[in-house]
Amino acid sequence: MLSLIVFLPIIAGLIILAVPASQKQIIRIVSLLAAVAQGVIAVLIWRHYDPTMAGIIA
């Protein structure tokens, strides 16, 4: 999940680069969807965080 938070903006940026500059509405929608997805993922990570768990589980 953490890697998705890192790579999602990169993927969204690449999609935006592929869209012609004249398509401002599509660029805004892709940006909004990426931001909302990152927010949802961040909340999911926060909700599932257990501070009592020691160490890293692979």
- Give the pLDDT confidence of 3-55 residue by residue, as tens digits: 889 999 999 999 999 999 999 999 999 999 999 999 999 999 889 888 787 66
Query: Which residue in the block uniquely carries the two structure tokens 């909004």?
Result: 32
Inter-residue long-range contacts of 49-53, CB under 8 Å, 24+ positions, other chains counted: none
Query: Which residue in the block uniquely carries the two structure tokens 């990570």?
Result: 45
Tokens representing 55 are 């160490």
57 pLDDT more than 70? no
Tokens representing 20 are 């012609």
